[in-house]
Chains A and B, each alone.
Chain A
C-alpha cells in the first residue's frame, strides 16, 4: 500500500487566493514526522514545513500552514495569498521513527498559480 497519497495531480489557483493541497498517509508507527517540499521547474527540493505526530498544534511557516488531522491521517498544506512564484510541484513526505527513518515521498501535486 502507498504510504503517502496525494490525490490531486494538478491544481489551479488564482493569484492572491488560498489553496489546499491534500496529503494522506498510512503508518502504524506512533512516532512520525510529516514534511512538505516544493520543487520548482529548476529542480531543487525546497523544504516548506514540518509537523510531528505528537504536536498538538498545526504547524505554520509564513504563508504555509499544515492542517493536521491525526485521526484521519491527513496532513494538508494550505498556502495563503498565492503568488506566481508558488507555481511548482509539491511533495508530501513522511519519516517514521521505527520503520527505517528514511523520507518516503508522495507522487506530488503540480500547482499552477494564475495571474
Chain B
C-alpha cells in the first residue's frame, strides 16, 4: 500500500471555473477526511466520511463545495464557481475507526485561483 494518494498535486484555475480533486485512501481505512490549509495555518476541517456516508460537514463547506465517496472507496471534492479565497492546499486523510489511531495524510492538492 502506497499510502493516501491525491490527484492532482497542483491546480491552477480561473475564477468562476469548477474544479474536482480526487483522494484515494489507504485501502483498509473506513474513515476519510478533507481539510483545507492556508499558508502558515493549521488544517481546517471540511468534511469526513465513514465508508460511503458523509457524517459531518464544517460550516466552512459552503454550497459551492460538495464531496462524495461512492462505495466507500475513493473520494472527490468539487468546488463550483471558484473564488480567489478558495486558493489553498486541500488535504485528504484517512484512518481506521478506532479512536486511538492516527490519520494518514496525502500530499495535498494545491489550488490557485487566478
* Residues on A facing B (Cβ under 8 Å): 4, 31-33, 35, 37, 43-45, 47, 50, 52, 91, 95, 97, 100-108
Q: Taking the nearest CB of chain B, how far is it from the CB of A31, in angstroms? A: 7
Cβ–Cβ contact B91 & A106, under 8 A:
no
| 6 A-B residue pairings within 8 Å (CB atoms) | A33-B100, A35-B103, A44-B105, A100-B48, A103-B33, A105-B42
Query: Inter-chain contact count A-B, CB under 8 Å?
Result: 58
The contact string, 1 if C-beta is below 8 Å from chain A, for chain B 64-85, is: 0000000000000000000000
Cβ contact within 8 Å between B48 and A44:
no
- How far is the CB of A32 from the nearest CB of chain B, in Å? 8
CB distance from A46 to the nearest CB of B (A): 8
Residues of B within 8 A of A103 (CB): 33, 43, 45, 93, 103
Task: Tell me the bound Cα distance from A74 to B46 in angstroms.
Answer: 25
Which residues of chain A are near B43, meaning CB under 8 Å?
A: 45, 91, 103, 105
Establish whether residues B56 and A107, one from each chain, have CB atoms under 8 Å apart when the complex forms.
no
Main secondary structure of the interface of A (DSSP, over half): strand
Contacts A33-B99, A47-B102 known; list 20 others, CB within 8 Å. A4-B42, A31-B99, A33-B100, A44-B107, A45-B91, A47-B104, A52-B99, A52-B100, A91-B42, A100-B56, A101-B31, A102-B33, A102-B48, A102-B56, A103-B45, A105-B35, A105-B44, A107-B41, A108-B40, A108-B41
Q: How far is the CA of A45 from the CA of B105 in the complex (A)?
A: 6
CB distance from B94 to the nearest CB of A (A): 11
**Closest approach, in angstroms, between the C-beta of B57 and any C-beta of chain A?**
10
- Indicate whether B108 reaches chain A with its CB closer than 8 angstroms: yes
Q: Is the CB of B33 within 8 A of A50?
A: no
Report Cα–Cα, A52/B99, bound state, in Å.
8
Whole-angstrom distance between the alpha carbons of A91 and B56 in the complex? 22
